[in-house]
Structure 1
């Protein structure tokens, strides 16, 4: 299994891309299970797309910051 992670943002705004091939690794089964759980949608979880001018951010429960949750509640007029 090939797992790729891209990190961007932060103080310097630099992007870091790294890939890991689990083939032949002693921890392959653990990593593959972790990857499957990480990308699986949360059962009955909401997904959100926040667009601010030209910036788009896709989010999913329960991985929301306090600021994102407050913004969603305010814009939707509901509890998030």
Structure 2
């Protein structure tokens, strides 16, 4: 499973994109579980960006979901942290 996260916004207004392939990773099954949850739970309706907050686009094998801080679920936050952290 290919997971790509693009983060925009924040205080500096920059953009960061990272991808990872779960197939050969020891934590692959957990990342795949988190990805499925991220796609199925977009959070509360009526999300509006907050000043200096981050916006995320999570792509999983061609499907995507747009998410906003501070409306992330714990599963979404874990997935985003794992993907962006793997690219650091």
Give the TM-score taking structure 2 as reference length: 0.49
Identify if the C-alpha distance between structure 1 residues 23 and 2 changes in structure 2 by more than 3 Å, giving closer, same or farther. Answer: same
Change (3 A) 1:2 1:9: same
With the length of structure 1 as denominator, give the TM-score of the two structures. Answer: 0.53
What do you get for the CA RMSD once the two structures are aligned?
Answer: 3.0
Structure 1: segments with no counterpart, 5+ residues: 51-56, 65-80
Task: Name the count of aligned residue pairs.
Answer: 55
Q: Is the 8 A contact 1:48 1:59 kept in 2?
A: no
Which structure has more relative contact order (CA 8 Å, sep 6+)? It is 2
Q: Which ranges of structure 2 fall in alignment gaps of 5 or more residues? A: 49-54, 56-65, 73-88
Where has structure 1 moved over 6 Å in runs of 4 or more?
57-60
